Structure 1
Amino acid sequence: MMNLKWLKNVKLEVGNQLNEDGLIETKTDLFHIGIKEGKIMERLHHTESISEQAEVIDANGLLAIPTFKEMHNHLDKTYLSLDWKACKPVKNLNERLHFEAQELKELAPTAKQRAMSMIEMILSKGSTHIRTHVNIDPYIGLKNLEGVLEALEEFKGVITADVIAFPQHGLLRDDVPQLMRKAMRNGATMVGGLDPAGIDRSIEKSLYETMEIAAEFNADVDIHLHDGGNVGTYTIDKWMDYVEEANWQNRSAISHAFCIGEVPEAQQRALAERLRENGVSIMSTIPLTKSLPPIELLDAHGVDVHFGCDGFYDSWSPHGNGDVLEKVQKYAQISRRIDEVSLRSTLKWATGGVTALTNKGEYLWPKAEDKANFIFIEAASSAEAVARRPDRKAIMINGEIVYGTLSKLEYTV
């Protein structure tokens, strides 16, 4: 079979087993995986012979887990690749936005360089899809968007991305709505929003304009929502009114959504049901300083939840390293997930829902025709990966190593 390559001695999770104490452990085994045109063609047990003459890559018993999705990020904001500087303290959100606006013109010329540094770091941690919000504002127009798109082009075939036109300094001001439309015509793929109450001071008008732009460009939506309590939950309910009116189901997300965790549980459940019915996802960065949306409640109601790292090393925070697995680990600690199955299942919030096994130990991934996308780590199971956060030894996309190294040899029958 021409163009077939083999990934040899890959450790995969195959089921549950009980240890001597009657506790569930993850059962693993070694396999050879045949890859053609970037997809998995077949999987052989390691005791079987590889029957084709082909290129062979030896994983040497490393565990393969699914690649990650970084679902809330700001590639245009980082200081990476520039000289170190800590953040300037501020008193409130509006003061932070004002300071950010002051430095936008200074940073704009290095947008591509800085974004590339951030992409490289995110990739090294195992994320191969990035959802990035990019400032569209009256201070620099589309300059950040241009730089981010150029940076992403350098990683074409390795990184996929959602590029969100993001009105960081407010949608309902100056000519921002027209700038947003210009961004959508020039490479942005999604429409963003920000605090319709706290920033735009007009919930209905802000959400209506957001949906108008989305409908005009047939684009999905992701709204930053920091507004808390009943103001925030009213905003989510009102957005879903617009979703229903426009038939925009399964096409939007609310990022942060702290407010859902700040209202009574009965209200949380009602919101969760409506979010599920309208296919509205929740994006969380698992922050230390804010309340969290009720992730397990949302998950139990069928709401898609994804994790992201947010911006890092920028005017907002000097901290962060682009590792979505760190966010998963932090959530496992917060939610007191300590057993094998609950640790293992937490990984889904970094992978876009992909896990190797069900909670009952039924095999799910990888299968024939799946893309040959893997992270290789030294771990007994994905539960250990969540708890211990091992180094990513190598990352494979469409059958090609794009980060790190694995042993490579020629196999001849």
Structure 2
Amino acid sequence: MQFPYQLVAKRKYSLKNVHLETGFEYDEEEVISTKTDLFSIEIEEGKIKAVKANDPASDALDAKGFLMLPAFRDMHIHLDKTLYGLPWQALSPKRRTVKDMIAYEQQIIPELLKTSVDRAEQLISLLQHYGTHFARTHFNIDPTSGLKSLEHLEKSLDNKKNSFKAELVAFPQHGLYYTDTVALMKDVAQLKSVDFIGGLDPFSIDGNIEKVLDFTVQLALDHKKGIDIHLHEVGESGMKTINYLIDKAIENQQLQGKIFVSHAFALGHLSPKETEKIAERLAEGKVGIVSSVPFRGTMMPIPVLKRYGVNVLIGNDNVQDYWSTFGSGNMLQKANLIAELYGYETEFQLSRTLQFATQSILPLDDKGNRQWPGPGDDASVVLTNASCSAEAVARISKIEALMTEGNLFWRS
């Protein structure tokens, strides 16, 4: 997919006829609808400068009455390795385990790297098509890729720098010790462009939870990075890994709020009492969970985690690649899936579910007070053909315009 928008304004300008949510309509104590009104918005140097009464007669750019919402953020994706942009290819039934996939990657990565810059840009354009302006993207660090996955990804992001932003996770997809990746991880951890130290199933891949996590934590401490570990393991090894990371967070205050467990499928196989206990511990250590919202065999306890104050981030993960046939790249669809899976059906519940696409930024607080947008807020927004957040989530509304740090792109 080519970039679906055209740049129409940047730096300093105003918008008129912008619909913003202003409050909830109640029937006794029940929220039955969302109130909106038209406003004018002033943009300057990547920030929202002012939110004013609408002036339809002004010469400001016309937002055409579309609803303004915070732009979306995908907090777990692999921009460096995708089949998107290549001929259609469904998932192979021959590769069933992570180690099967590692062996397959070792075969195909050299050829994929030849076109990875262009394909990453196409995938970014797909995300932008659906209103995403920011991603936390993992990139392979392994003996087959060396630093080439990172180098190619950085080229793609540089080509998209005016419309898309990202934070980077160095991901030892082939294990730290299962393949000899330790030296590469030490090298990449020193780079300013890298924000997080990644990891993969320390027990099932490398055979030693403590050895892997001690190395990862020390690397993060030494270079002032965050940690984001892929953990597919369930049962004892999965829970031991999660608890070990919580212990490390409690021991090292500088890592609190900077450690994340991606997938964490083990949490979806606990009793209600066990779930509440681990949710309390995660909150204590300020360890976040990043989920692609699995279903069928695993249902993540997202409502319980949120109730205990755990930072839950959402991402697409795989978008039509050799790990998964599915994945749309649409964060609003992810919010819609969460609403359907967990029964968030009312106006109020649906409006709250938007947070999983925006990563916690909501136009209205729980009492219906407008809290976004305001002066000083990052000017990264979408304009969508919906009457309110609840409708946008329920109907996965079309995105008409995307603004990234004040650069406004309108669908062409």
TM-score, scaled relative to structure 1: 0.92
- The correspondence for 1:147, drawn from 113, 128, 152, is 152
Q: CA deviation at 1:340?
A: 0.3
| 2:280 is aligned with 1:302 | no
Q: Are 2:257 and 2:287, in contact at CA under 8 Å, matched by a contact in 1?
A: yes
- The correspondence for 2:20, drawn from 9, 12, 24, is 12
CA deviation profile, 1:60-116 (whole Å, cap 9, x unmatched): 110011111100000111012223322322233322222222111111121211111
Higher mean C-alpha displacement, 395-404 vs 370-379: 395-404
How many angstroms apart in 1 are the aligned matches of 2:179 and 2:385? 53
Q: CA deviation at 1:23?
A: 5.0
| 2:204 is aligned with 1:198 | yes
How many angstroms apart in 2 are the aligned matches of 1:274 and 1:110? 44
Instruction: Please name the residue that 2:185 is paired with.
Output: 180
Q: CA deviation at 1:330?
A: 0.6
How many angstroms apart in 2 are the aligned matches of 1:98 and 1:173? 11
CA deviation profile, 1:169-212 (whole Å, cap 9, x unmatched): 11123430111122223443210011112212111111111112
Higher mean C-alpha displacement, 84-93 vs 129-138: 84-93
Consecutive unaligned residues of structure 2, counting only runs of 5 or more, are 1-10
Instruction: Please name the residue that 1:71 is paired with.
Output: 75
Q: CA deviation at 1:359?
A: 2.3
Higher mean C-alpha displacement, 94-103 vs 347-356: 94-103
Consecutive unaligned residues of structure 1, counting only runs of 5 or more, are 406-413
Q: CA deviation at 1:403?
A: 4.7
1:47-62 equivalent positions in 2, closer than 5 A? 56-62=60-66
Instruction: Please name the residue that 1:319 is paired with.
Output: 326
- The correspondence for 1:210, drawn from 185, 210, 216, is 216
SS at match of 2:399: coil
Instruction: Please name the residue that 1:43 is paired with.
Output: 51
Q: Which amino acid aligns with 1:231?
A: S
Instruction: Please name the residue that 2:290 is paired with.
Output: 283
How many angstroms apart in 2 are the aligned matches of 1:133 and 1:150? 15
Q: CA deviation at 1:320?
A: 1.8
Q: Which amino acid aligns with 2:41?
A: I
TM-score, scaled relative to structure 2: 0.92
Instruction: Please name the residue that 2:5 is paired with.
Output: none
- The correspondence for 2:269, drawn from 242, 262, 265, is 262
Q: How many percent of aligned residue pairs carry the same amino acid?
A: 38
Q: Which amino acid aligns with 1:56?
A: A
Q: CA deviation at 1:289?
A: 4.2
| 2:363 is aligned with 1:359 | no
CA deviation profile, 1:310-346 (whole Å, cap 9, x unmatched): 0212111222221111111011001111110000101
CA deviation profile, 1:137-196 (whole Å, cap 9, x unmatched): 111211111111110111113222111110111112343011112222344321001111
How many angstroms apart in 1 are the aligned matches of 2:28 and 2:219? 60
Instruction: Please name the residue that 1:409 is paired with.
Output: none
How many angstroms apart in 1 are the aligned matches of 2:106 and 2:195? 24
Instruction: Please name the residue that 2:7 is paired with.
Output: none
How many angstroms apart in 2 are the aligned matches of 1:164 and 1:334? 29
Instruction: Please name the residue that 1:189 is paired with.
Output: 195
Higher mean C-alpha displacement, 327-336 vs 316-325: 316-325
Q: CA deviation at 1:370?
A: 1.0
Q: CA deviation at 1:294?
A: 0.8
Q: Are 1:123 and 1:403, in contact at CA under 8 Å, matched by a contact in 2?
A: no
SS at match of 2:22: strand
SS at match of 1:239: helix
